[in-house]
Amino acid sequence: MIKRALNVTREADFAAWYQTVITEADMAEESGVRGCMVIRPWGYGIWERIQRLLDDRIKATGHENCYFPLFIPLSYFEKEAEHVDGFAKEMAVVTHHRLVQKDGKLVPDPEAKLEEPLVVRPTSETVIGAAFSRWVQSWRDLPVLINQWANVVRWEMRTRMFLRTAEFLWQEGHTAHATVEEAREETMKMLEVYRSFAEDCLAMPVVAGEKPENERFPGAVATYSIEAMMQDGKALQAGTSHFLGTTFSSAQNIKFQNAEGQQELAQTTSWGVSTRMIGGLIMVHGDDDGLRVPPRVAPWQIVIVPMLRDVPEDQAITDYCKALQADLAKLSALGEPVRALLDLKPAKAATKRWGWVKKGAPIIVEVGGRDVAGGNVSVVRRDRLYREDGKLDSAVIARTDFVNDAAQMLESIQTTLHEQARERMDANITRGITEFAELEQAFEGEKPGWAEVNWAKPTGADLDQVVQRLKALKLTFRNVPSDASPAQGACIFTGAPAVERILVARAY
Amino acid sequence: MIKRALNVTREADFAAWYQTVITEADMAEESGVRGCMVIRPWGYGIWERIQRLLDDRIKATGHENCYFPLFIPLSYFEKEAEHVDGFAKEMAVVTHHRLVQKDGKLVPDPEAKLEEPLVVRPTSETVIGAAFSRWVQSWRDLPVLINQWANVVRWEMRTRMFLRTAEFLWQEGHTAHATVEEAREETMKMLEVYRSFAEDCLAMPVVAGEKPENERFPGAVATYSIEAMMQDGKALQAGTSHFLGTTFSSAQNIKFQNAEGQQELAQTTSWGVSTRMIGGLIMVHGDDDGLRVPPRVAPWQIVIVPMLRDVPEDQAITDYCKALQADLAKLSALGEPVRALLDLKPAKAATKRWGWVKKGAPIIVEVGGRDVAGGNVSVVRRDRLYREDGKLDSAVIARTDFVNDAAQMLESIQTTLHEQARERMDANITRGITEFAELEQAFEGEKPGWAEVNWAKPTGADLDQVVQRLKALKLTFRNVPSDASPAQGACIFTGAPAVERILVARAY
């Protein structure tokens, strides 16, 4: 049996394994502040890569970045009842603007109470809507296409690093349009940006589709999501895109004069992804040795570990590694310059190697005296860590061959991770279910995956009833996949003729 | 007399001119939330350029980015008295985590009061210090070199866009070291990063030096700053770097075992620049036609304005402009690909031209039917907007010549802005003052600039007295320039032998 780098396997305890990866890969840690985490350099480095690649795509689709206030006056929320109902229970509220010493303790100064309390933004539709109402007067001012990268706060009672934290980082796009058609087109365009970003950059297969009524964003006319399958079979909602109709334009008075000279309400959208994606990345690509980061989002794609022994020969090894790093940095892979790190920290080579295995650096290159003498390098690929005999698969390769092959190797790792995840997802979506009893059966096992079933799209109280029946099985609706086959036969919940196919799953 | 693009000049009312530039250049606006602004695309685009260029330099000096919580428990502040004294008066305090409806109004839910109030970070020494105390055990863990890009909140009573807002964006670097020497070296290294960044990227000449005791960051052993001269002669502190000694390591218990096996407190530093720099950029480079953005930080360096007239010939103009944009995008200037925008918004060409003049795009290229026919472009350089006869200096240039020269033109504009600002600063620092009465005289005029004077570096109550005398003249100490000539003669404040030279100025 192979001795693994982590002390817990996915099989034995998936939740414990997840926490262990986060700790052992130096991704994040508890901060001491309730519900908030510290994102450490390796975790934040992945977020920076996500930001860079996604921001390029957001800009390429015509959006500009702005920045709106962290604080939102209570009165802004009062204007939109459904929206506030959705968020009021989890809002951090600022009530004072000064501290004073009292009995040797710091307390909020009663003399410095705010006239109107401020909410720390849980999302920015209201405050951005107020700006849009200033910016939009005529059809010529439309569309308004903006995005912001920001922190938001939702006071969650049960938190879990990356997946559900009181404060998290995200981007939120907000747009205003003259027509329903244009706003709906925007909603779908950004859903597609998220879908292709998840697949191409995160190597994370997802299903894009529309959320049912009960899962809509508070205030939305329609909500779409991308859903990814974790290795325990659960679903993770990894991004959402909302068509908001005139909900916020009527609350915030976003009106324009159309070409015919009449006043109309603008049609708005919003869409976002967050640091939650990193939680998904871990649960899609991690293995029992830690994380495996797809090369496109790896802060360092190739890490060079010199095997130093505090002897005079060390200098030759270090020089050899520096030259190697310089040569690798000249390469291009996956459309960008290769990111190669020379790890010169004061620690043993074996400790460093396993540190990088746990962090999931795509390629680890070890260089010892023998490699230097032979003009070689010892290469470990994170996507194929062990040989069939269970030994670490460290291949001695001529240095020139490695430099020639490195870009292609990174591309191959990106593809391999994507294909592995795609095969797993495809193999774990059950499609043949025709009755509710079959659905119950399908979710009896340990890692049941998802089920795609025919349904009649009930609404209101009928839908609530179905949702409750699913809840009893710890199941939820995920979305109606955009590319699902047409519905056929009867709805497995109501028996009525089915109108579409919907995904059912346990979820994070 | 030239008719200017703005309706107020720097000469007539500098403060009104500043606000007008911000509005007319679409940089930012009031948000409706007290003390908070909305940063609009052109303003935020400049911030993104600052982030990109400065982040590269921060990483090149070995620092990694992290993210720490927005909220800091009160108890963290109680540990460091001097620090809390510095910030307690301007802290936003979160006291509740839920809202409820009461008498038809949303209010903080009394049932959801936090046991320990949370402060919205005004700066992160305390919460980052707590993380460092977990990360640092041995000398091998040092140095810790991290940085974060974040929003912070200081509840200022009088706010001014970019210069002083309740919420602002910044980067804050925090490091821990084994020795005083190393920590001091880090402090000076980052001061130099800021100095060279301001000069090279913002084209903003600055004076780097140490702040006197009364201007130190709360808890610092030594504070250094870069100071820039605005066009009204006032100083703007544009960045600071602090040597914190063991102030925070003793409060937060950042201890390590040294190579000899003994426990020691780490020596820490912190350093930051903020969106305030954008305020400085405006007041250094703006003119009576709006902003002038140095090419290195301009979101768009070249803006192409097609002169369309809703006629069939428009298509040929648009095609010509698209080809030009593509050719310009292939160029490199100032170490990066050229950023060229084709402005196709539905507005009149003249409106667009003046819009870009006010925004300060470095080069504006207009293309009309005659230009297309002749294979030309009409080029306006923002650093030389008018000819001697007062007419707009729009030069008809062969398209190929322009493409050949564009990179060099951008470099020339970067240099010109820098030189103009440098000359102005150098011309406005008075150095010959030997008595306090002369200082009073020097600051009687309208735009007095700065004075560099000999002083004896008094401390404690003696220093307070001097500070009060300056305050009566609305003056403050800025810093002791690192490159000042040696002190000579007597201190102009106390008559004691001078030990160094210090800058005195009015300041933002």
Q: What is the 3-state secondary structure (H, E, C) of A277-321?
A: HHHHHHHHHCECCECCCCHHHCCCCEEEEECCCCCCCHHHHHHHH
Same domain, A375 and A501: no
Same domain, B194 and B61: yes
Q: Do B99 and A93 touch (CB under 8 A)?
A: yes
Give CA torsion, residues B295, B296, B298, B302, to 10 deg.
Answer: 40
Token output for A90 = 């989890």
What's residue A262's pLDDT?
97
In angstroms, the CA B285 to CA B385 distance is 14
Name the B residues in 134-193 with CB < 8 Å from any A CB: 134, 140, 146, 150-151, 153, 155, 166-167, 169
Same domain, A387 and A439: no
In angstroms, the CA A200 to CA A203 distance is 6
Give CA torsion, residues A227, A228, A229, A231, to 10 deg.
Answer: -150
Q: Classify residue B442: in a domain, yes or no.
A: yes
For chain A, percent of residues with pLDDT exceeding 70: 100
In angstroms, the CA B491 to CA B86 distance is 29
Residues with Cβ within 8 Å of B222's Cβ and at least 6 positions away in sequence, in order, are: B184, B187, B210, B211, B216, B242, B243
Q: Report yes or no: A284 and A228 within 8 Å, Cβ to Cβ.
A: yes
Task: Note down pLDDT in tens along chain B; length 508 residues.
Answer: 678 999 999 999 999 999 999 999 999 999 999 899 999 999 999 999 999 999 999 999 999 999 999 999 999 988 877 778 888 899 999 999 999 999 888 899 999 999 999 999 999 999 999 999 999 999 999 999 999 999 999 998 889 999 999 999 999 999 999 999 999 999 999 999 999 999 999 999 999 999 999 999 999 999 999 999 999 999 999 999 999 999 999 999 999 999 999 999 999 999 999 999 999 999 999 999 999 999 999 999 999 999 999 899 999 999 999 999 999 999 999 999 999 999 999 899 999 999 999 999 999 999 999 999 999 999 999 999 999 999 999 999 999 999 999 999 999 999 999 999 999 999 999 998 999 999 999 998 777 899 999 999 999 999 999 999 999 999 999 999 999 999 999 999 999 999 999 999 999 9
Q: Report yes or no: A281 and A293 within 8 Å, Cβ to Cβ.
A: yes
- Tell me which amino acid residue B336 is: E
Token output for B48 = 């993104």
Token output for A224 = 């779409």
User: Could you give the ipTM of this predicted complex?
Assistant: 0.96
What's residue B432's pLDDT?
87
| CA-based torsion, B191, B194, B197, B203: positive or negative | negative
Q: Report yes or no: A293 and A359 within 8 Å, Cβ to Cβ.
A: yes
Same domain, B192 and B336: no
Shortest Cα distance from B334 to chain A (angstroms)?
19
Please tell me whether residue B17 adopts helix, strand or coil conformation: helix
B86 and chain A: CB distance < 8 Å anywhere?
no
Shortest Cα distance from A147 to chain B (angstroms)?
9
Q: Classify residue A166: in a domain, yes or no.
A: yes
In angstroms, the CA B222 to CA B457 distance is 14
A131 and chain B: CB distance < 8 Å anywhere?
yes
In angstroms, the CA A409 to CA B314 distance is 49
A482 and chain B: CB distance < 8 Å anywhere?
no
Query: Looking only at Cα atoms, what is the longest distance across chain B?
Result: 83
Q: Which among A40, A91, A140 has the least Cβ separation from residue B99?
A: A91
Domain end position, chosen among B256, B285, B314: B285
Going by the DSSP 8-state scheme, the letter that residue A33 receives in this structure is S
Q: Report yes or no: A80 and A251 within 8 Å, Cβ to Cβ.
A: yes
Where do we find the tokens 């903080």? B108
In angstroms, the CA B301 to CA B334 distance is 11
Q: Classify residue B8: in a domain, yes or no.
A: no
Residue B171 belongs to what H/E stretch? Answer: strand B167-177
HSE at residue B389, side-chain half, CA atoms within 13 A, is 4
Token output for A371 = 């490699």
Residue B478's CB is within 10 A of a number of other CB atoms, namely: 27
In angstroms, the CA B142 to CA B70 distance is 25
Residue A132 belongs to what H/E stretch? Answer: helix A125-135
Same domain, A312 and A272: no
- Tell me which amino acid residue B92 is: A
From chain B, the residues in CB contact with A118 under 8 A are 33, 92
Same domain, B25 and B127: yes
Same domain, A312 and A439: no
What's residue B1's pLDDT?
63
Same domain, B58 and B207: yes
Q: Classify residue A418: in a domain, yes or no.
A: no
In angstroms, the CA A176 to CA A136 distance is 9
Shortest Cα distance from A143 to chain B (angstroms)?
11
HSE at residue A494, side-chain half, CA atoms within 13 A, is 17
CATH of the domain at B472: 3.30.110.30
Name the A residues in 50-79 with CB < 8 Å from any B CB: 64-74, 77-78
Whether the link from the prior residue into B143 is cis, omega within 30° of 0, is yes
Domain residues for the domain of B455 are: 430-505
Q: Classify residue B335: in a domain, yes or no.
A: yes
Q: Do B118 and A33 touch (CB under 8 A)?
A: yes
β-strand pairing of B263-265 with B267-274 = unpaired
Shortest Cα distance from A462 to chain B (angstroms)?
29
Token output for B72 = 């800091």
Give CA torsion, residues B278, B283, B287, B293, to 10 deg.
Answer: -30
Going by the DSSP 8-state scheme, the letter that residue B498 receives in this structure is P
Closest C-alpha to A61, from A243, A193, A199, A223: A193
Where do we find the tokens 């005004």? B122
In terms of C-beta density within 10 A (0-12 exposed, 13-18 middle, 19 or more buried), how is residue A59 classed? middle
- CA distances in angstroms from B215 to A112, A120, B85, B208, B219, listed in the order given: 26, 32, 14, 14, 11
Same domain, B188 and B332: no
In angstroms, the CA B259 to CA B186 distance is 21
Q: Do A77 and B99 touch (CB under 8 A)?
A: yes
Residues with Cβ within 8 Å of B331's Cβ and at least 6 positions away in sequence, in order, are: B337, B338, B403, B406, B407
A interface test, pick of B52, B56, B67 with most A CB neighbours within 10 Å:
B67
CATH of the domain at B60: 3.30.930.10
Closest C-alpha to A67, from B96, B87, B278, B335: B278
A206 and chain B: CB distance < 8 Å anywhere?
no
Residues with Cβ within 8 Å of A493's Cβ and at least 6 positions away in sequence, in order, are: A436, A455, A456, A458, A466, A469
Q: Which among B44, B120, B127 has the least Cβ separation from residue A66?
A: B44
In angstroms, the CA A476 to CA A494 distance is 16
Shortest Cα distance from B95 to chain A (angstroms)?
6
Q: Do A71 and B97 touch (CB under 8 A)?
A: no
From chain A, the residues in CB contact with B100 under 8 A are 88
Q: Is A103 left (phi over 0), alpha (psi -120 to 50) or beta?
A: left
Same domain, B354 and B475: no
Phi, psi of A159 (to 5 degrees): -115, 160
CATH of the domain at B382: 3.40.50.800
In terms of C-beta density within 10 A (0-12 exposed, 13-18 middle, 19 or more buried), how is residue B323 classed? exposed
Q: Classify residue B49: in a domain, yes or no.
A: yes
In angstroms, the CA A498 to CA B110 distance is 48
Same domain, A151 and A276: yes
Closest C-alpha to A95, from A87, A77, A107: A107
Q: Classify residue A450: in a domain, yes or no.
A: yes
What's residue B3's pLDDT?
81
Q: Classify residue B393: in a domain, yes or no.
A: yes
In angstroms, the CA B185 to CA A404 distance is 40
Domain end position, chosen among B234, B254, B285: B285
Closest C-alpha to A380, from A409, A408, A416: A409
Q: Report yes or no: A224 and A195 within 8 Å, Cβ to Cβ.
A: no
In DSSP notation, B268-303 reads EEEEEEETHHHHHHHHHH-BTTB----GGG-S-SEE
Q: Do B31 and A98 touch (CB under 8 A)?
A: no
- Beta bridge pairs of residue B259: none
Q: How many domains does chain B have?
A: 3
- Tell me which amino acid residue B249 is: S
Please tell me whether residue A12 adopts helix, strand or coil conformation: coil
The residues of chain A scoring below 70 in pLDDT are: 1
**SS3 letters for A44-83?**
HHHHHHHHHHHHHHHHHCCCEECECCCEEEHHHHHCCHHH
In angstroms, the CA A145 to CA B23 distance is 20
Same domain, B269 and B382: no
Q: Report yes or no: A504 and A451 within 8 Å, Cβ to Cβ.
A: yes
Going by the DSSP 8-state scheme, the letter that residue B448 receives in this structure is -
A98 and chain B: CB distance < 8 Å anywhere?
yes
Q: Which among B47, B91, B97 has the least Cβ separation from residue A99?
A: B91
Q: Which among B41, B93, B140 has the least Cβ separation from residue A66?
A: B41
Q: Do A97 and B91 touch (CB under 8 A)?
A: yes
